[in-house]
Structure 1
Amino acid sequence: MADAKRPLESKDPEPVAKALAGTLEPQVLNHRPRSKRQKVQGPPPPVPNRPRQCHFLQPNKNKYCSLTTKLGNKFCGEHSMYESATSTTSSDGTEGTNGGPDGQAIRKRIPCPFDPSHTAWADDLKAHLYKCNARPRDAAAHFSKDINLTLPNPKRSIETNDVSAAETGSAESATTSSTVKPDILATLSQEQLMSLIKKIQDSHAKHVPEIRTLILDHPALDERKKILKNIKHAHQQASLLGHMKRLDMLNDSNTCYVEFGAGRGELSNYLKIAVDDHGTATFLLVDRTPSRNKFDSAILGLEEIKSLVKRYTMDIKDLVLAKVPELRKDVTATQRTLPVKDAGSADKTENGDSQDGSEYVEKKPVVAISKHLCGGATDLTLKCLTSYQQSERKHSSLPSPVKGILIALCCHQLCHHYMYPNQQFLKEIDISAEEFVYLTRMSSWAVCVNQTKTEKAGALSEASVDSETSSNNSPAACDDDHRIEADSELENLSNNIPAMDSQARERLGQQCKRLLDIGRVRYLKENGFDAELVYYVDPETSLENLALMAVPVPSAE
C-alpha cells in the first residue's frame, strides 16, 4: 500500500530531477547586508552536561543547540550531518566513521538543494524533495519571464549563447549595458566624447519642445502638511493628485489604481482619501522587494466595506497585467474570489473569449501611478501598460482599458538599452547601444552634488542659482533622495575639457534626461495616448521634478 503522506510522483518532476542531478542553483536567502554591530565573540561555553543535549555549537549565539539527540548520538536530527564527521575509535585502536552503537553506518544529512538553510537524509533525498516546502512552485498566471523587455536580456542571451544578443550589439557591449562601470566615460577619447556631446545637444534642440511648469495641490494632503516638518514629499504627492484630478483620473470610484514601484504604498494611501471610494475602488501595489511599515491596512479604509487592496511582490518586467485577477469586474470588495470556471467551456477566442477556453470577463478601467519610478522600471511599466491596452482593446467595451498614466520620473542613469521601449527613436537620433550607456551615465550630471569648494561658495553667494548646482547645505540637496554624489570621473573630464564647468555638465545632464523622456512620450503617442511632460514641483522641492502624464486619445466614433 502506498504511503498516503508522500505526494504522488506524477507531479512535475523537473525541479526534483534537477536537484538530484545537482544542476539546480539554491535560492539566495537574504540579499540585504546586516547593519547590526558585530558582537565580540567570547570564549566557547563548556560542553553541555545535560543528558542527550545536542553538541552542535551555534557560532552566532555562542551556545550549544538545545535540541535532544537519539540514544548514542551526539547531535540532534537537524545537525546529525556532523555525526559522520566525528570519527570513533574501535577496541583494536583503529579509527572509523561508524558511530552507531551496533557498528552500523550513521545516516548522513546533507543541505537541501532547494533551500540550504535546512537538511535532509542523503538516502531519502528524493522523497524529501517531493514534499519540501521550498520546492519551486508553478508560476502564477500573471507571471511571464521578461515579458515586458523590449529586447532580449543580454545576460540571458550570452548565458544561453542566443544569437539574438546581436540585436543589442556585440556581447561585450551588451554586458556593458547591463552593468555600467562608474568610470565608463573615462574610456572615451576627447574626440569621441565631444562628438557624442554635440549629437546629444543637436538632438535635444530638434526633438525636445519647451516643457511647462504646472504646480497643483490637493486637499487630501492638507492634514498631513500640518503635522510634518519636512513637507517636500507631501508637496509632491499633493501636486500629483492635483494633476490626476485635472486629467479626470479620480472621477470613477470603480477604477483599479495600480501603483508601480509602490514601496510602502504612501501615494496610494492619499489617493484613497482623494477618491473617497467607499470600498468600491481597487488598489494594486507592485514592487520588486517587500517593504516594512506598509500602508496596506490604511488603504483598506475604516468603513464597513473595505477597499480591495492587493500587493504583488515581483519584478515589473515579468508582470502580465491582463491576467491579474483583481482587474476583473466580478472581483470586488464584497466578492474577492474568482467564480468557479465552467469545466466544459469551449475555446472561443474568435468570439472574444480568452485563450485558455474560459469566457472573457470585462475588466475595470486602469489608472497607473508612481512617484519616482527609477530608471528602467519606467520603461518596463510603459511596455506593460501598452501591452495590456492592445490585448484588452480586442474584447473590452471600454473606450480605453488604460484610463490614465502618471509617473514622476527619476534616476535616468539606471536605464538600460534593452528595456527602453522606443528603439525607433534611438535609431532616429543615431544613438547606438554603446552610446546609450554613455548617455545614461551623463544624465546623472543633472543632479550631481559635491562640486568643488569654489563652486560651493559661489552657489551659496548667488541667490538666483539653481538648486541642482547648490551645495549639500541647501534644502533641496539635503532632502532629495535621488541626488548623486559627484565622483573623480567628473574632475578628470573637466581637466580634459576645460570649457565644461559644473553648470555646463548640469545642462548636458538635463538634455540627456529630456531626450530619454521625449522618446517615452512619443512611444505613448504611437500607442494611442495623449502624453506630455510637466514640471509638477519646483526644483527646490525635488531635483527630480518632472512627471510623465498621459490619457487615451478620444476615439473618432
Structure 2
Amino acid sequence: EWSHRGPPWIWVHVRNQAGVPPRTRCLADVVTLCRGRRGSVRWLFPWGRDSVGSTPWRGSTVYEDQLQKHLKKCNSREKPLPVYHIQNVNAGTPEEDVCEDQVPISSLSREDLQKLIEKLRRVTSGLEPPLPDKKLCHQVLQGALCDPVNGESASKHLKQQASILGHLESLGLLGGSRCYVEFGAGRGKLSHWVDIATQDAENVLFLLVERASTRFKVDGKQRKSTFERLHIDIQHLCLDHVPSLVQKQRSVIGIGKHLCGAGTDLALRCLMQASSPMVGEPDCKRPRMDPALESSDLTHKGNSVPDEQNKVAGIVIALCCHHRCDWQHYVGKEFFRNLGLGQREFNFFQRMSSWATCGLRKLPVTSHVENESGTDFEEHNEAAQKIPVCNSEAIQRLLTVEERENLGHLCKLLIDHGRLDYLKKMGFKPTLQYYTDPEVSLENILLTALPQQHK
C-alpha cells in the first residue's frame, strides 16, 4: 500500500513480505514516487520494464517508450523565449580594447592611491550633490506606517515606499492610462502601493520585471488592475514587444526600489529604447526581430503591431549597490571620457563606492548587519556578499573612516552624474535627491526624470 512518510510531497510504496510489489494506485510497477518542491519528479523501477529513459532536465525518470510523451508536458522542459526577449537588446557595447584584470585597491602604493583620490576629488568638485530634504510621504501608507504590528525592518521599507510614492505624486506620475514597469520587482511591494494609490484610475497596467521566480508575492492579491510578471533579465527586455503594451498604448513609467548596480543602467537603456531610438549609439545597439516573424508572432497572439512607440512619461528609481556596476553596461561612458577618465578609473571608483555604506570592514557582511542598515537582505544578500572588503594597512594609515565614507559618496555621485548626463542627452530632465534618512537606509538616493517637454 501507499504510505505517507515525512513531508507531504513524499509518498512511499511499501512492498509485501514476499518481495513482490502489491497493486499500485495509478502507475504499474512504480515503487517510489517523490514529487519535489520545484516540480521535479523521480520514479524508481526495481521491478517491471527493463528499459528506463531519463529526461535531459533535472530529476525526471520515465519508461523509455513514454519518454517522448513526457517531454511534451515536463515542467522542467526548456520553454520558448517570449516575443519581448531580444538577446542583449539593452546591453552596452563591449570595448574593443579589453582592459587588463582589475587591480586590487589594496595593492596600490600610497602614492598611486593618493593620485587616484586627488583625481576623484578634482572631477567631482563641480558636480551638484543630491537635493536635500526630499523625504516625502503618501497618504495611502499612513495606516501601515502607524500600525504597531509592523516591526522595525518592515517600517523602514514602508518609509522608503511612502517617499517613492510621494515623489511619484509630486511629479504627476500617478494616474490612469499608465503602465508602471517595476524593475527588480521582487515581491512587488512597490507596485502594490502604487496600485492602491491609483485605485480610482482607469486603464492602469503593472509590469513586474524579475529574473527569477519570487516567493510570497503580493501581486496575486490585486484584482482590479492588471499585474503581469515578466521573468526575464532586463538586459534582454524589449518593452516595444510586450503584448499587453502592444494591445493598448499607455504612457510608460519606470520605477524601482534598490535596483542593484548595472541593473539601473540596463533599466535606463530599456526605457530609452521604448521611448525613442537610441541617440549617439550605433544602430547595432538596437537589434530588431525579422519583420515577418515579428508580425506573425504578434498576430498569432491576437495583437497588432503598434503604429507608434510607447512614450516614457517618467522615471523614479531608488539607486543601490554602485559597487556592482559594470563598465560594459554603464550608460555614462561618454561622461567619463569627457572628464579624462576611462575603464581603469571606473573600476577603481566602482569598488571604492562601497566605502560609503561599509566603511573599512574586515568581517564579511552578515544578515544582522544588513538588517540594521535598513537594506533588504532577501533582495541584496548576493550583492552584499560581493562588497569588496579593503583591509590594506596603507589605506588605514592614509584615510580615516569618515574620509573613506566621504570618498565612497563621491564615487557614487560621479557614477550617478554619468547617468544624469545620459538622460539629458536622451531628452529628459533628471534629478538626484535624498528620499529617506540614512538611519532608514544607507542607500538613500532617488533618481527621478521627466521628459524635457513635461510641464
TM-score by length of 2: 0.76
- How many residues are paired up? 396
Q: Does 1:508 align with 2:407?
A: yes
In the alignment, what sits opposite 1:426? 336
Higher RCO structure, 1 or 2 (CA under 8 Å, sep 6+): 2
In the alignment, what sits opposite 1:192? 112
In the alignment, what sits opposite 2:17? 49
Aligned ranges 1:473-512 → 2 under 5 Å: 477-481=372-376, 489-492=389-392, 494-496=393-395, 498-512=397-411
Contact 1:367–1:404 under 8 Å retained in 2: yes
Describe the SS at the equivalent of 2:96.
helix
Structure 2 residue corresponding to 1:244, chosen from 163, 168, 181: 168
Partners in 2 of 1:541 and 1:133 — Cα distance? 41
Partners in 1 of 2:454 and 2:343 — Cα distance? 36
Describe the SS at the equivalent of 1:328.
helix
In the alignment, what sits opposite 2:347? 437
Contact 2:360–2:401 under 8 Å retained in 1: no
Describe the SS at the equivalent of 2:424.
helix
Q: Does 1:324 align with 2:224?
A: no
Aligned ranges 1:452-463 → 2 under 5 Å: none
Superposed CA deviations along residues 136-157 of structure 1, whole A, max 9, x for unmatched, are: 33321101122110124xxxxx
One-letter amino acid of the structure 1 residue matched with residue 451 of structure 2: P
Partners in 1 of 2:108 and 2:188 — Cα distance? 42
Describe the SS at the equivalent of 2:353.
helix
Offset, 1:225: 0.8
- What's the RMSD between the two structures over aligned residues? 3.8
Partners in 2 of 1:313 and 1:505 — Cα distance? 38
In the alignment, what sits opposite 1:383? 269
Describe the SS at the equivalent of 1:490.
coil
Describe the SS at the equivalent of 2:442.
coil
Contact 1:150–1:419 under 8 Å retained in 2: yes
In the alignment, what sits opposite 1:270? 193
CA 1:489–1:364: 2 relative to 1, 3 Å = closer
Aligned ranges 1:18-57 → 2 under 5 Å: 49=17, 51-53=19-21
Offset, 1:129: 5.4
Structure 1 residue corresponding to 2:143, chosen from 223, 229, 234: 223
CA 1:408–1:488: 2 relative to 1, 3 Å = closer
Partners in 1 of 2:278 and 2:113 — Cα distance? 45
Contact 2:373–2:439 under 8 Å retained in 1: no
Contact 1:322–1:388 under 8 Å retained in 2: yes
In the alignment, what sits opposite 1:142? 84
One-letter amino acid of the structure 2 residue matched with residue 308 of structure 1: T
Contact 2:54–2:67 under 8 Å retained in 1: no
Q: Does 1:167 align with 2:96?
A: yes
Q: Does 1:552 align with 2:451?
A: yes
Q: Does 1:209 align with 2:128?
A: yes
CA 1:442–1:312: 2 relative to 1, 3 Å = same
Partners in 1 of 2:166 and 2:198 — Cα distance? 12
Superposed CA deviations along residues 68-115 of structure 1, whole A, max 9, x for unmatched, are: 765xx99999334x78xxxxxxxxxxxxxxxx9xxxxx74424322x1
Aligned ranges 1:287-298 → 2 under 5 Å: 287-298=210-221
Offset, 1:117: 1.1
TM-score by length of 1: 0.63
Structure 1 residue corresponding to 2:324, chosen from 400, 411, 414: 414
Q: Which runs of 5+ in 2 are unaligned?
A: 1-6, 8-13, 34-41, 280-304
In the alignment, what sits opposite 1:286? 209
Q: Identity over aligned residues, as a percent?
A: 33
In the alignment, what sits opposite 1:538? 437
Superposed CA deviations along residues 371-410 of structure 1, whole A, max 9, x for unmatched, are: 1111111111001000111159997679x81011000001
In the alignment, what sits opposite 1:79? 44
Offset, 1:261: 0.8
Partners in 2 of 1:488 and 1:137 — Cα distance? 37
One-letter amino acid of the structure 2 residue matched with residue 381 of structure 1: A
One-letter amino acid of the structure 1 residue matched with residue 452 of structure 2: V
In the alignment, what sits opposite 2:300? none
One-letter amino acid of the structure 1 residue matched with residue 390 of structure 2: L
